[in-house]
Structure 1
Amino acid sequence: MKSLKQTMPLLGPIFKEYGVEVNKIEDALSNIAEMDRQTNELVTIPDRFNTFFAEHGWITYRMMDFDVAKEAVSEAEAGNFKGALELILQYYNVDTIRFQLKRLNSIIAFRPRMELALKALIDYEEKRYHACVPVILALTDGLVNELHEDHKGISAESTKLEAWDSIAAHSQGLGKLVRITRKGRRKTTKEKITLPYRNGILHGTDLGYDNEIVAAKTWALLFAVGEWAAKVEKGEIISPKDKPEESLLDIIEKIQELDNSKRELESWQPREAISLNPDLFKEHTPEYVLNKFLNYWMQKNYGKMTTILPYRVFDSKTAPLRVREHFKSQLLISYKFISIQDIALSNTTISIKLQIDEFGCQKEKIHEFIMICEDDQSHSVSPKKSGSKWGSYTWHV
């Protein structure tokens, strides 16, 4: 886009001959310098953060507050390294940890571990670091053991926690941090440590781990591993096939498409008086897609149930198995649409009352399905866009 802006004085007259709205392209390109600065910042901050802090037990990951990471890097680059470390430590307060734990609930393999994690959080809040640190390390180890293809814990030398398009899961992130945590610590010592040496703590040789710094770094390790775990469950470990480079005309078409999307967003209004009667649902609406999913659930058709999954999960070979594993103990007896609320152009929240038979015991649940319209690149798009589909990241009931 920077190149396009530089060539516009030459290409503008040619575009006009083909009916291209040049003024709109120039408007879209007017803020390229600031976009370039922001993009460079977004791209470089994670690596700069890890360069400064990975050896000290901190790495950045997707759930970490970007502004905190940015400020810590700025402090370190200005020579205030001690202040930068204190800033990171203060970030891991109880509210931050509780919020990030809730987000880990989207990982199926972590849900059975949530109860212990919340108990560890109580210990953290009460400054019982001696109690919470081993629990968090054990939960992290178990999560890796369950999801890694070798079914080995985080301490195994062969365990690599890497994933495509991940802020945390690469050699300079989790790879470097895990090498620190798995160091052999065979000599018993009571000296205070500031790194979460997994082997020394769990094997009872590092006795000086009872402090806030180690506890906070242990939480940070869990959340970074959580990013890798989410990638594994979504089938996003390996990068997709490379796409051909975009031509200049492709870029122009994309700019015009963005302009059309902008106009659609500006004129969007939520639907009024949406019928809750499934017989009246129109095709290609979020409620229509959800109604089909619920019918397939009643029929125990796990293969067809995958149609509600977001694109990347839907395309995974393991998608039917994942759906079956989650729903095989839950038989849907009946359901009723309670509310349908359009939140945005590509976002609708639907509340459903469910009657479920779970291990012979009937239960009533109310579940909110957040329906998102996406393209095949998992970008939120207009429902009018060709190839878009409605799916839900909250399909786990």
Structure 2
Amino acid sequence: MADIKDNYSFQELEYLFKGADDLQSFLRQGKILGFNNKQATKLFSKMKKMKKEFNTLRNIPDTFNKHFSERGWFAYESLNTPVMEKSIELAEQGKMDEGEQVLIDYFTNRDEIGIFVSQLSHMEEFKARHTLLWNAVEDHFEERYHASVPVMLMMMDGFVNDIEQKGFFAEGVDLNVWDSIAAHSSGLQKMTSIFGESRKKTRVEKITLPYRNGILHGRDLGYANVYVSSKTLSTLLALGDWARALRDGKNEDRKEFIPPTAEENAQSIVNSVEQFRETKKVKEYLNQWKPRNIEVGTDIPEKGEINEYKEDTPEQAVVSFLHFLLRGNYGGIAKLASYTWKKNKSMGLMAGEAREIFARKKLIDYKLLSVKDTGAAAANIQVWMQFEREDGTHFEHEADLRLNYENEEGRPSSCGFEKGEWKLLQYGLSEIEWSDIKTR
């Protein structure tokens, strides 16, 4: 069985670094294309550091699974890398329980986990489970584990069934996906065996693994604890990465990694040179860039019409979003979505996701609180918002709306350096949805 570090994507990155090594050897022979020795030395010093970091990161999933898979934890794309690193560090010191506690602390942190739950809840196959998911997650964070665990186990089974026509715990289910971390045989596939273990005896003692059969058939009575609930939630979120890998066609696009030819390596060198020159231009621009000092109520109105805000600014994008929301224009909101949110989705699907978040609550008032440029391609805008629910009750929320400046290809770009637009990240909308659930 191949390791995760042997996945196609990792091998491809390894050869990119090899191409950089070849370029470094090439540049040592003399100055070319305007590079001087000082610039080259600085560039390859950074590349050396990046290569070292890559080699470390590449080994984390396999090492993490080796230590923790028998305990019901496994690596996947969305799982926080520093959390895995800390757990591994403790495990290799012989402190397995402390390493597992790091994971428990992470999965009981609302702010850390909320965004990933929101991403999962808006997947097409999860729409019918949207309300149940949020209720189960809220039960988890409120330590009502007797309620959170069975619901999440049922959703895992149903979610996989909708995609594969076999449930997560069904005999013969194959969750392996080529070039995936979550869907590697040491990940989700292994959990189907561990969590699906036959449990024919009634037990009252505490368990720390989410044995589906024992829990749902009323045999494992000691399941209602943070260990079982956190591992079930982790696996449920990993299924989101599995489903996204399938949606991206990875199972249909299997290919063997073939090292590049000498001609391809030469072209890689040329491309690297051009990329370096472009990066240098961006860096020169960024060195001159300074954040604006915007005072809401003085420099810009706290609540105004769209044309009262300067074009090509993050505050105008946010006010446009708020005006769309006031009118229930979900298509307009979809057009403001960041590429990271709308990747591989149609405008209609994006509008549908926005409708799901806001259809049962109407924005009735708002005001801008602060505008902060956090970079040439990023901004944070705080907004006070008041909503009215369908039952006539109100709730307020201070949203931290985050925006990226993106070019036509959806890549972050420096505002003022090339043509682009300010786009809204999903995180702020997830906060609003989360606030509604918590205040009910």
**Shared fold (TM-score greater than 0.5)?**
yes
Alignment coverage as a number of residue pairs: 380
Task: Please tell me whether residue 136 in structure 1 is matched to residue 156 in structure 2.
Answer: no
Distance 1:255 1:388, change over 3 A: farther
**Aligned partner of residue 169 in structure 2, secondary structure:** coil
**Aligned partner of residue 210 in structure 2, secondary structure:** coil
Distance 1:224 1:381, change over 3 A: farther
Q: Where does residue 236 of structure 2 map in the other structure? A: 225
Cα-to-partner distance string for 1:179-223 (whole Å, 9 max, x where unaligned) = 32123323445677553211112212234657x6xx425413312
Q: Which structure 1 residue ranges, 5 or more long, are not aligned?
A: 124-130
Q: Where does residue 373 of structure 2 map in the other structure? A: 342
Distance 1:36 1:10, change over 3 A: closer
Task: Please tell me whether residue 29 in structure 1 is matched to residue 44 in structure 2.
Answer: yes
Q: Check conservation: 2:205, 2:222, Cα contact below 8 A.
A: yes
> How far apart, CA to CA, are the structure 2 residues paired with 1:104 and 1:9?
43
> How far apart, CA to CA, are the structure 2 residues paired with 1:314 and 1:197?
36
Q: How does 1:59-98 map to 2 (within 5 A)?
A: 59-61=74-76, 64=79, 66-67=81-82, 69-70=84-85, 72-73=87-88, 83-94=94-105, 97-98=108-109
Q: CA deviation at 1:364?
A: 6.3
> How far apart, CA to CA, are the structure 2 residues paired with 1:12 and 1:347?
37
Q: Where does residue 321 of structure 1 map in the other structure? A: 352
**Aligned partner of residue 108 in structure 2, secondary structure:** helix
Task: Please tell me whether residue 306 in structure 1 is matched to residue 334 in structure 2.
Answer: yes
Q: Where does residue 271 of structure 1 map in the other structure? A: 292
Query: Letter of the aligned partner of 2:331 in structure 1?
Result: G
Cα-to-partner distance string for 1:225-266 (whole Å, 9 max, x where unaligned) = 22433785x898415899x98732221222233334444444
Q: CA deviation at 1:43?
A: 1.2
Could you tell which deviates more after superposition, 258-267 or 344-353?
Answer: 258-267
Query: Letter of the aligned partner of 2:423 in structure 1?
Result: W
Query: Letter of the aligned partner of 1:145 in structure 2?
Result: G
Q: Check conservation: 2:90, 2:96, Cα contact below 8 A.
A: no
> How far apart, CA to CA, are the structure 1 residues paired with 2:247 and 2:408?
17
> How far apart, CA to CA, are the structure 2 residues paired with 1:177 and 1:102?
23
> How far apart, CA to CA, are the structure 2 residues paired with 1:351 and 1:386?
25
**Aligned partner of residue 309 in structure 1, secondary structure:** coil
**Aligned partner of residue 310 in structure 2, secondary structure:** coil
Query: Letter of the aligned partner of 2:215 in structure 1?
Result: I
Cα-to-partner distance string for 1:96-149 (whole Å, 9 max, x where unaligned) = 5234444445347366544554544554xxxxxxx7266324224326635863
> How far apart, CA to CA, are the structure 1 residues paired with 2:342 and 2:419?
18
Q: Check conservation: 1:147, 1:229, Cα contact below 8 A.
A: no
> How far apart, CA to CA, are the structure 2 residues paired with 1:10 and 1:368?
48
Tell me the C-alpha RMSD between the 2 structures: 4.0
Q: Check conservation: 1:287, 1:350, Cα contact below 8 A.
A: yes
> How far apart, CA to CA, are the structure 2 residues paired with 1:193 and 1:231?
27
Q: Check conservation: 1:144, 1:229, Cα contact below 8 A.
A: no
Q: Where does residue 58 of structure 2 map in the other structure? A: 43
Seq. identity, %: 25
Q: Check conservation: 1:236, 1:312, Cα contact below 8 A.
A: no
Q: Where does residue 127 of structure 1 map in the other structure? A: none
| Equivalent residue in structure 1 for 2:268, among 241, 247, 255 | 247
> How far apart, CA to CA, are the structure 2 residues paired with 1:60 and 1:378?
28
Query: Letter of the aligned partner of 2:368 in structure 1?
Result: F
> How far apart, CA to CA, are the structure 2 residues paired with 1:324 and 1:389?
21
Q: CA deviation at 1:42?
A: 0.3
Cα-to-partner distance string for 1:260-316 (whole Å, 9 max, x where unaligned) = 444444443221235235323233221222233333333433223211212143240
Q: Where does residue 429 of structure 2 map in the other structure? A: 395
> How far apart, CA to CA, are the structure 2 residues paired with 1:91 and 1:351?
31
> How far apart, CA to CA, are the structure 1 residues paired with 2:307 and 2:55?
51
Q: Where does residue 128 of structure 1 map in the other structure? A: none
Task: Please tell me whether residue 291 in structure 1 is matched to residue 319 in structure 2.
Answer: yes
TM-score, length-scaled by structure 1: 0.76
Q: Which structure 2 residue ranges, 5 or more long, are not aligned?
A: 1-16, 122-129, 433-440
| Equivalent residue in structure 1 for 2:210, among 196, 202, 212 | 196
> How far apart, CA to CA, are the structure 1 residues paired with 2:117 and 2:90?
33
Distance 1:337 1:252, change over 3 A: same
Q: CA deviation at 1:39?
A: 0.5
Q: Where does residue 280 of structure 1 map in the other structure? A: 308
Q: Check conservation: 1:60, 1:224, Cα contact below 8 A.
A: no
Q: How does 1:88-237 map to 2 (within 5 A)?
A: 88-94=99-105, 97-99=108-110, 100-107=112-119, 109=121, 113-114=133-134, 116-123=136-143, 132=145, 135-142=148-155, 145=158, 149-150=162-163, 154-157=168-171, 167-189=181-203, 193-207=207-221, 209=223, 215-229=226-240, 237=247
Query: Letter of the aligned partner of 1:139 in structure 2?
Result: M
Distance 1:60 1:379, change over 3 A: farther
